[in-house]
Chain A
Amino acid sequence: MTTLAQEFSKGILKENPVFRLLLGMCPVLAVSITAVNGFGMGVAALFVLLCSNIVISLFKGFIPARVRIPAYILIIATFVTIVDMVLNAYASGLHEALGIFIPLIVVNCVILGRAEAFARKNTLSRSIIDALGMGIGFTLSLTFLGIIRELFGAGSIFNIEVMGAAFQPMMLLATAPGAFITLGIMLGLFNLIFKRLGIE
């Protein structure tokens, strides 16, 4: 039985949803154009993941196994709607930037995957820790990718000009192909790092 600390850290490193489990790719590629967008999407997904893990773990005795997937989808969709409306009200810039990918959180494989693989079989406290770990891992990955793409694609980090006036940004990174290529190379890099560190 793993300790709580291990549950938490596995989501950040060993079982990082983006770089190791390869889940939730769609939003990763689309919103990581700037660091702020990446961070915002990560926080939104973290909120939905946490709430849905809590509810599903609490109700795991009451949801019949045969209808569990539609039930989980309903629960997740409710929290996604809440996040959508809250972002629309209090962070309309972010809401517009994330656009269609906020409602698409409901089909984010990370959230449904954790509900199916973890929350319905584990206690409330472990589900919370798992959600926090995975969610923070997801957010960190998104923010990291966002920083790289924003730094080289626009010369800034979190909208602060870092590279100076003489910097010619690599427009490729701010576009669709750049997203694919950056993520692919990052994945390769992480494979290299993990192998060198001995984690498999």
Chain B
Amino acid sequence: MDLNLTAIIFVAILANNIVLNQFLGICPYLGVSKRIETSLGMGMAVIFVMTMAAIVTWVIYTVFLVPYDLVYLRTIAFILVIASLVQLVETVLKKINPTLFRALGIYLPLITTNCAILGVALLNVQAGHNIIQTIVYAIAAAIGFTIAMVIMAGIRERLDLADVSSYLRGAAVTLVTAGILSLAFMGFRGIMTL
């Protein structure tokens, strides 16, 4: 079990990074990775929401959908859970920790349509993880997302000062950069497999 968890963490962060390898969460990745501080903020929010969403969706899947033969309702149930969860997190956070709310607040609504959250929730149930593996995978995947985004932010901060052709400025050069980053992360494959 322990070796399995280590493998899950390694694979989620490096070998099968959810952004650079599985293409989940591209929209916020391209949109928020302009500066390192905002990337870190978004990353924290994602770690927070992704873990909670993974746990709640796993519980709903295992306790309600599977025993009552309602697996086809998976998409609807999961997305409604995620949308409500984000709403709930926003409200609760505003009440109990206004400082944290102000730090994370703007990113939370963006996270609902983040395909990474729904994607990781689906990946967990598809892989048949138990609850511990689900939590570990969600945290690790979110950390992988954060690392990828912070690296990208560091590069983009420098790219802003570089002389990029006007046709490639903006999303185009960011995508090519992401491609090179993805190529770099490919080097981690094969070191450890699940």
Partners in one complex: yes
Chain A: minimal CB distance from B123 (Å): 7
A22: Cβ under 8 A from any B Cβ: yes
Check B115–A177 contact: CB distance below 8 A.
Answer: no
A103: Cβ under 8 A from any B Cβ: yes
Check A26–B115 contact: CB distance below 8 A.
Answer: yes
A175: Cβ under 8 A from any B Cβ: yes
Check A183–B175 contact: CB distance below 8 A.
Answer: yes
Interface segment, one of B3-11, B61-69, B178-186: B178-186
Partner among A74, A77, A109 whose Cβ is within 8 Å of the Cβ of B27: A109
Chain B neighbourhood of A30, CB < 8 A: 22-23
Partner among B26, B83, B168 whose Cβ is within 8 Å of the Cβ of A69: B83
A176: Cβ under 8 A from any B Cβ: yes
Contact A25 to B26, CB < 8 A, known contacts A85-B72, A103-B118, A107-B118: yes
How many chain B residues touch A (CB < 8 A): the figure is 44
Chain B: minimal CB distance from A51 (Å): 15
B171: Cβ under 8 A from any A Cβ: yes
Give complex CA distance A191, B167 in Å. 6
Contact A191 to B168, CB < 8 A, known contacts A180-B179, A184-B175: yes
Chain A neighbourhood of B113, CB < 8 A: 107, 109, 112
Chain A neighbourhood of B84, CB < 8 A: 70
A192: Cβ under 8 A from any B Cβ: yes
B176: Cβ under 8 A from any A Cβ: yes
B75: Cβ under 8 A from any A Cβ: yes
Interface positions, chain B 17-34, Cβ under 8 Å from A, are: 20-27, 30
Chain B neighbourhood of A184, CB < 8 A: 168, 171-179
Chain B: minimal CB distance from A167 (Å): 23
Chain B neighbourhood of A112, CB < 8 A: 113
Interface positions, chain A 180-195, Cβ under 8 Å from B, are: 180-181, 183-185, 187-189, 191-192, 195
Check A188–B119 contact: CB distance below 8 A.
Answer: no
B114: Cβ under 8 A from any A Cβ: yes
Q: List 16 A-B contacts (CB under 8 A).
A: A27-B23, A29-B26, A74-B76, A78-B76, A81-B73, A85-B72, A103-B75, A106-B75, A112-B113, A177-B182, A181-B176, A184-B168, A184-B172, A187-B171, A187-B175, A188-B172
Binding site for A on B (CB under 8 A): 20-27, 30, 72-76, 78-80, 83-84, 112-115, 118-119, 122-123, 126, 165, 167-168, 171-180, 182-183, 186
Binding site for B on A (CB under 8 A): 22-23, 25-27, 29-30, 69-70, 73-74, 77-78, 80-81, 84-85, 100, 103-104, 106-109, 112, 172, 175-181, 183-185, 187-189, 191-192, 195
**Other contacts beyond A74-B76, A180-B178: 18, CB < 8 A:** A25-B26, A26-B23, A27-B23, A73-B83, A77-B79, A78-B76, A81-B76, A100-B122, A104-B115, A107-B112, A176-B23, A177-B183, A178-B179, A184-B168, A184-B174, A188-B165, A189-B167, A191-B168
